[in-house]
Amino acid sequence: MNLALRSGAVASAAALTLLLSACSASNEADPTTEAATTTDAATSAPATTLSGELNGAGASTQDTAMQAWRAAFQEQNPDLTINYDPVGSGGGRTAFLDGSVAWAGSDAALSEDEYALAVDRCGADGAINLPMYISAIAIAFNLEGIDTLNMDAATVANIFDGKITMWNDAAIAAQNEGVELPATAITIVHRSDESGTTKNFTDYLAKASDGAWPYDASGDWANSLGESGQGTSGVKQILTDTPGTIGYLDSSQAGGLGAVAVKVGDEYVVHSAEGAAAAFDAAAPAGVNGDNDLAFKIDRTTSAAGAYPVMLASYVIVCQTYDDAEVAANVTSFLEYTASAEGQTLAAEQAGSAPMSPALSEKVVAILEGIAANSGV
């Protein structure tokens, strides 16, 4: 992350030098606009080539994917510098609303207050949420010789709240006939840092467990039980090293560990990118700001076939219109790329996310094209 930031800084420094030199070459008119046009003219690129600097900030969940997207997109548009500061969802939304970044990445959609603030920032049409990054969260365990265990949400909640302490507990055995469960103690593993993974996992527990999970959804682990690891890698290391452990981590990192198949409807479903995408397709629209606002309320209790509701969805938050045509062109082109089938596949390869369904992907791209048109690109 540091490296990425630093290389971003170097890149922006380079872009700045370029602009400055362009500046000094021309000696009339407004320096900033002049600089941009001169650079364009100097490279004599086709009209589609983007230039300048594009800044975004927000959720660190999207950071891995964002790094891949930035690298790929900047390769196609060498004059454009894209920065993404993974300050966290809240920080990203704040930076977007006060106008210091062009778009925000966020694990949560805008709140009511923020919609109001967005009108000041973006104009009468305000801002909208667009889904961009979907990923399944695996509930993984380390038990010799067992690859999957079936559990309903209440069982998972009871395990993570310390009410079920042994692997051969009746509640687990009842859902796993024919599986030889060892009489070992369960060790819970959770994240020690605040994370979107924890927030979505506990949201699932809170909503789907019929009250077995007595806490609210939170990015910080709620109780003081078990072991904790730093980041996804920290959790994975504990899970891999210690038999009898159970934890949750991003689906892409759960290879080699046993996985809990959670009860969805009457079936048990193991984590997968497709399952997460299916769960997201089953989510209820929760957009407030017109048809273009694609916020969703994920139904953790969904019974849709093949859906895996233990997942996280992360949005990008953009204005419906941008004052500055150059910014609008940069934002929409970049995000159209990330939402496209190509961008989603890249994220799936690099970050292990679940690609959005083609229909949703096309819808997001169409909305972004509309934003570009509204902003006079």
Residues that bind another protein (CB under 8 A): 1, 60, 86-88, 90-91, 94, 162, 165, 185, 187, 192-195, 218-220, 224-230, 234, 237-238, 241-242, 244-245
User: Is the separation of the CB atoms in 53 and 100 below 8 Å?
Assistant: no
Q: How far is the CB of 202 from another protein (least distance, A)?
A: 11
Distance CA 248, CA 139 (A): 4
40 versus 161: smaller Cβ distance to another protein: 161
Q: How far is the CB of 71 from another protein (least distance, A)?
A: 21
Q: How far is the CB of 163 from another protein (least distance, A)?
A: 10
How far CA 245 is from CA of 140, 201, 357, in Å, comes to 8, 17, 34
7 versus 218: smaller Cβ distance to another protein: 218
Spacing of C-alpha 99 from chain mean position:
22
94 versus 158: smaller Cβ distance to another protein: 94
247 versus 275: smaller Cβ distance to another protein: 247
Q: How far is the CB of 196 from another protein (least distance, A)?
A: 8
How far CA 365 is from CA of 292, 341, 362, in Å, comes to 11, 10, 5
Q: How far is the CB of 121 from another protein (least distance, A)?
A: 17
245 versus 252: smaller Cβ distance to another protein: 245
CB within 8 Å of 203: residues ≥ 6 apart: 217, 298, 300
> Residue 295 has which token pair?
């916020």
27 versus 224: smaller Cβ distance to another protein: 224
Distance CA 78, CA 211 (A): 53
Distance CA 134, CA 65 (A): 11
Distance CA 102, CA 95 (A): 9
Distance CA 355, CA 336 (A): 14
238 versus 328: smaller Cβ distance to another protein: 238
Alpha-helix residue ranges (DSSP H) falling in the chain = 2-25, 31-43, 63-76, 89-97, 112-122, 153-160, 170-175, 196-208, 231-241, 273-281, 325-339, 341-351, 358-374
77 versus 197: smaller Cβ distance to another protein: 197
Q: How far is the CB of 332 from another protein (least distance, A)?
A: 27
Q: How far is the CB of 175 from another protein (least distance, A)?
A: 23
Q: How far is the CB of 312 from another protein (least distance, A)?
A: 14
User: Is the separation of the CB atoms in 166 and 350 below 8 Å?
Assistant: no
